[in-house]
Structure 1
Amino acid sequence: FFIVQVDFDSEFAPFLSEQEIIDINDDISGLANSLAVGSDDLFEVVFRFADWVERNIEYNLSSVTSDAAQKSSWVFNNRYGVCDELTSLFISLCRSVGIPARFISGISHTDVDYFAEKWGPHGWAEVYFPIVGWVPFDVTYRQFGWVDATHIKLQVSSDSTPSSVDFNAVGRGFNIKGGDFDSSVDVLSVGPLKELLVSLNFEVSERKVGFGSFNLLSVDLTNNQNHYLTVPLQLAPTTNIENYDDRFRNVLLSPGETKKEFFIVQVDFDLDKNYAYTFPLKLFIGNKTFLAFFKVDRNGDVFDFDYFNSQVPKQEAVYQPLQGSCVADKNSLYLGESLVVSCSFQNIDDDVLRWVNICLEQECHNKHFSLGETYDFEFTKNISVVGVKNLAVTLSNEDFQVSKYLLIYSLDEPLVSISDLKFPETISFKDLADVSFVVSQESFSNPKSVQVSIVHKQFSHSWNISDLSSKKVFSLSIPGRVLSSGVNKFSLITTFKDDFGKDYSLAEEFSISLEGVTFGQKVLIFFNQLSLKLEGMFGV
């Protein structure tokens, strides 16, 4: 089982936790655990997630998924969705084992006849690899670890929300109505097609067979590069030939690796015995085509399925003699607090398991498991740094390793800042005082129930903020006609709470002078301010 044993900075938190659409449940976590078993290679584990989604989730443009984005858990249960939903489930699998992944919104090109416009909105993922950075994965297009030049990246987000644009405004007597998304792409130049980065040999086992015979096709692939490659193979359908394997394959090749893929096919029984046949077989890799041939006639040898199936290497199951789970009594805590990790594992093997080393990071102890024994144990852990931490519980001896991970958020007290405050020092009765400022989150922990207010003795205006993970710019135009003659003092107040409901506040003062006010304007100011008090609000 694979675990990313990295302590991530706070900036990765949104890309490690579940969201409204990109959710995580026991089914998704269980699948991620089972797919990752036996590998300690990060790229291989991420490839397994992408390959599973591409092979098991049907791309389906039904109205259920096209009108509103469905949760990852819904896609897992129903086994279909559109590009956003396939991508969401892939991201959920990554995050469920502590691998940062984020959602990319953009535009891409398609040749699918269903779409009238060949360029349109599309969603794919980026996965974080330490040292390397963010690497693209498009499970819809079968592009794992890369995307082609038609992918135009527009937005990065932690969730697959139905809308990438939010509208807001301050004022009275108007409505905002958003229009439909419209995009236009002009291709300025087209370069030559890329050469294959792999060497390939495509051949058949038997050059001649009889009617109804099976045959074996083999593909030898060699990665000629010093980096990972994913190769999408597609065996074309052939008339009078039945395929006994998946015609579509996603093959992972490590740097310099050579790998062999096999396809078993069968010739139809009811061919005309007065003819001899030559069957062409086509293998596609991207825009490249490879051909192989074999002959069929009534005098050819007839091979059964088992003859060739026995020649195909079988992937050995990973030895996992222990079954169990681990939970923490809390998934987030403040610095200085401790958490308790409780685990329960059962020996499901038919033998005694000796010298099993049980560890949470550097804290370890040994245990012998008798037949069928269930063992419950706990670890107490203190977290000393702020951020996101993967805690790995491992049970291993010289024959196996079983691991469970826990994603823990170590929090500091919420902290915000007010910066870049701009305002005019003086205005006249007919002027507008344009006030703007920036509110930012300065802590790893997220401030809750954030409210930002500009307060004057005669009026006030407030904004409620649901998410302060990125800087928020605020602006307000204050008419001179509602201010008092002379110096007007303002308080810029930000209030917020922590996860436990504790209140925090931050305040900053500034002043604007209203100058050159006539007697008639003072009368108007009096009635304007009275009106504001009666309305109980401030409008522009």
Structure 2
Amino acid sequence: MYNWRDVDKVTYGYTSEIERKIKPVIITSKELYPFDITLVTSEVRKYLQPTIHVDSNHPKIQELARNLAKDEEDLWKLVVKTALWVRKNVPYDLNTLTAEATQKASWVLENKKGVCDEITALFMALLRANNIPVKFVYGVSYTNNPLVPQNWGPHGWAEVYFPNHGWVPFDPTFDQYGWIDAGHVKLQESDDPEVKSIQVTWRGKDYQVNLGNINYKAHIKQSGNVYNSNVEIKPTVYLTQTGLDSMNLIIVNVKNKNNYYVATNLMLGRVNEFEIIEPRENFVALSPGEETQIYYTIKLKPGLDPKYTYQLPIIIYNEKNETVQTSFTANKQSTKLDYSDINKAKAILNEESIKPLSETIKLNCDAPKIIRKYENPTLTCNVSSDGTYYFENANVCLFQTCKEISFSTNEQTTFPLILKTGKHDLRITFRHEKASKSQTITVEKMDIPELILENIKNPKKVKANELFNLNFEITQKSYAPPKNLSVQIILPKKTQVMTIENFNQKIPLKAEINSDELRSGTNKLYLILEYDETSKKETIIIEKEGYGALEEIFYGIGNFFTSIINAFTEVFS
């Protein structure tokens, strides 16, 4: 209580230091839905009733709640499914703060927007409509959202009742399902968002009191460690190499390695060279030990330079910033995927998880990794099972080419490989009414290496004893890179040799030459490329201003003595 006398304006408040230690509520076993609500206490049952803002008796809310609960027997998964529906369909919108009061859940459902109190109110209404007790929690929370520059502010979230575990926190605004972080400071709980944690009353004679805004100022003094989700995330790509302007499918296998339920939001990182078609993020709710598979569809942006091969990273991360990566490459020679290809790929992958005997099938296909220009090898596929079922009239397909097989333990089939130059992801599928399996192997069809010399730049005339540069570029015109590449620059008096390793597409080179290595007058220089038992030659003409006949005499004498020295060296060696 505060007391003032004879004041026109006063600012008051209090300071507290709060230590928050958060431990997630561990739900290790399935709780059935629906449960017998008569077995819970009257104190819990009061959080089932409709209120002013949680109007769970509204017909549209009840209809949506029934659809969400249809065929769901797992209470935890139904609560998460409800939170995800609200999260995906009701964006956070600060414009609703301009309203005179918090909007009802039915208004939020109708208008598809709201702030934390209103988003939570709709979440609560849908749960209460499905006979699940839920309470509103009011407090302050920390956020790094740029819309909240002071980082701390009032916030509302929910606690849901689980018969065997008690009250479990859920924050659909912050994507925290079954847990909340230590930045949530709880001040009060109620059955409706309208009840606030701070109420002001006053007593006095002949006073008119006008209340100003309540301001929160907070900062973090110390923070601890973030809980590891212990969720295994393994991303792969449908094609490890695609054409330019192609689509691709990102496949992520997710496994809950905990002995309790978890929910996580997996997001695909943005990359300049491609756009994310669908979705930007995937919410995954997993029971103990459960595995699932999620997908992201991407499309390369137009305008990528066909002269280059692009290495494109795939980055998957969650709300705790746990990150995994893979990558794929894109160039003009490789296969292009469109929407129909992506849909077919998803259908086959989904079949594997649905059909009952998919786990019994092993598909092992093999082919040479490198295929030379005039080679036409075969792809060999072995399909095996444990022998408990006879797979009759099954199909093994390489893209659209299919072969029918029947077996109980093992069968082999082959496909001829007639491919264009470039790297190819060969997608092989086994399909039967009881099982499906797919495999991708990568092969590379080579052509004959071809290089060209271009952009040769040299002076037309040089003076005696002058240093000058010979500049040129080597460009790869073929798909196959050269092997054993060397460059010879043959001068009248000397030969320079360059050995080039790890050649890639194009390389600029520069040779420094002393004009004393030329003869006076007109000189022919030869630029020779040698690689893969192939050679290419370019002739360069340079005029040297020199000493004329006298220089040639000295040059001849020098060659004479050099020959004598070389002869003696050979004899004595």
Compute the TM-score of the two structures, normalised by the length of structure 1.
0.55
Relative distance call for 1:12 and 1:195 in structure 2 (3 A) is closer
- Do structure 1's residue 310 and structure 2's residue 344 form an aligned pair? yes
The 8 Å contact of residues 66 and 82 in structure 1, kept in 2 or not, is answered as no
Match of 1:160 among 190, 193, 207: 193
Match of 1:289 among 323, 336, 341: 323
The 8 Å contact of residues 2 and 38 in structure 1, kept in 2 or not, is answered as no
- Do structure 1's residue 68 and structure 2's residue 101 form an aligned pair? yes
Match for 1:5: what amino acid? D
Match of 1:301 among 304, 328, 335: 335
Give 1:314 deviation, angstroms: 9.5
Give 1:235 deviation, angstroms: 0.8
- Count of residue pairs the alignment pairs up: 316
Relative distance call for 1:301 and 1:314 in structure 2 (3 A) is closer
* CA distance in structure 2 between the partners assigned to 1:194 and 1:185 by the alignment: 23
- Do structure 1's residue 78 and structure 2's residue 111 form an aligned pair? yes
Give 1:162 deviation, angstroms: 6.6
Q: Look up the match of 1:33.
A: 66
CA deviation map 1:85-124 (0-9, x unaligned): 1011000000011100011111111111121211111111
* CA distance in structure 2 between the partners assigned to 1:11 and 1:196 by the alignment: 33
The 8 Å contact of residues 223 and 256 in structure 1, kept in 2 or not, is answered as yes
- Do structure 1's residue 191 and structure 2's residue 224 form an aligned pair? yes
* CA distance in structure 1 between the partners assigned to 2:348 and 2:185 by the alignment: 40
The 8 Å contact of residues 140 and 155 in structure 2, kept in 1 or not, is answered as yes
Give 1:276 deviation, angstroms: 1.6
- Do structure 1's residue 4 and structure 2's residue 4 form an aligned pair? no
Q: Look up the match of 1:111.
A: 144
Q: Identify, as 1 or 2, the structure richer in strand.
A: 1
Larger deviation: 288-297 or 142-151?
A: 288-297
The 8 Å contact of residues 136 and 147 in structure 1, kept in 2 or not, is answered as yes
The 8 Å contact of residues 268 and 280 in structure 2, kept in 1 or not, is answered as yes
* CA distance in structure 2 between the partners assigned to 1:162 and 1:266 by the alignment: 48
Q: Look up the match of 1:249.
A: 282
Instruction: Give the 3-state SS of the residue equivalent to 2:346 in structure 1.
Output: coil
Match for 2:162: what amino acid? F
Q: What residue ranges of structure 1 are gaps of 5+ in the alignment?
A: 317-540
The 8 Å contact of residues 139 and 197 in structure 2, kept in 1 or not, is answered as no
Give 1:65 deviation, angstroms: 5.1
Relative distance call for 1:182 and 1:131 in structure 2 (3 A) is same
Q: How does 1:329-348 map to 2 (within 5 A)?
A: none
CA deviation map 1:313-345 (0-9, x unaligned): 5999xxxxxxxxxxxxxxxxxxxxxxxxxxxxx
Match of 2:180 among 119, 128, 147: 147
Larger Rg: 2
Q: What residue ranges of structure 2 are gaps of 5+ in the alignment?
A: 1-31, 351-573
* CA distance in structure 2 between the partners assigned to 1:97 and 1:140 by the alignment: 21
Give 1:213 deviation, angstroms: 1.7
The 8 Å contact of residues 37 and 45 in structure 2, kept in 1 or not, is answered as no
CA deviation map 1:498-532 (0-9, x unaligned): xxxxxxxxxxxxxxxxxxxxxxxxxxxxxxxxxxx
Q: Look up the match of 2:134.
A: 101
- Work out the percentage of aligned pairs sharing the same amino acid: 34
The 8 Å contact of residues 59 and 81 in structure 1, kept in 2 or not, is answered as yes
Give 1:259 deviation, angstroms: 1.1
Q: How does 1:365-444 map to 2 (within 5 A)?
A: none
Larger RCO of the pair (alpha carbons < 8 Å, separation 6+): 1
Q: Look up the match of 2:297.
A: 264
Larger deviation: 303-312 or 159-168?
A: 159-168
Give 1:266 deviation, angstroms: 1.6
The 8 Å contact of residues 68 and 162 in structure 1, kept in 2 or not, is answered as no
Give 1:2 deviation, angstroms: 4.9
* CA distance in structure 2 between the partners assigned to 1:95 and 1:206 by the alignment: 46
* CA distance in structure 1 between the partners assigned to 2:84 and 2:148 by the alignment: 25
Q: Look up the match of 2:405.
A: none
The 8 Å contact of residues 69 and 162 in structure 1, kept in 2 or not, is answered as no
* CA distance in structure 2 between the partners assigned to 1:53 and 1:232 by the alignment: 14
* CA distance in structure 1 between the partners assigned to 2:309 and 2:159 by the alignment: 52
Compute the TM-score of the two structures, normalised by the length of structure 2.
0.52
Give 1:311 deviation, angstroms: 3.0
* CA distance in structure 1 between the partners assigned to 2:293 and 2:181 by the alignment: 26
* CA distance in structure 2 between the partners assigned to 1:167 and 1:194 by the alignment: 38
Relative distance call for 1:186 and 1:271 in structure 2 (3 A) is closer
* CA distance in structure 1 between the partners assigned to 2:50 and 2:191 by the alignment: 9
Instruction: Give the 3-state SS of the residue equivalent to 1:128 in structure 2.
Output: strand
Give 1:168 deviation, angstroms: 4.3
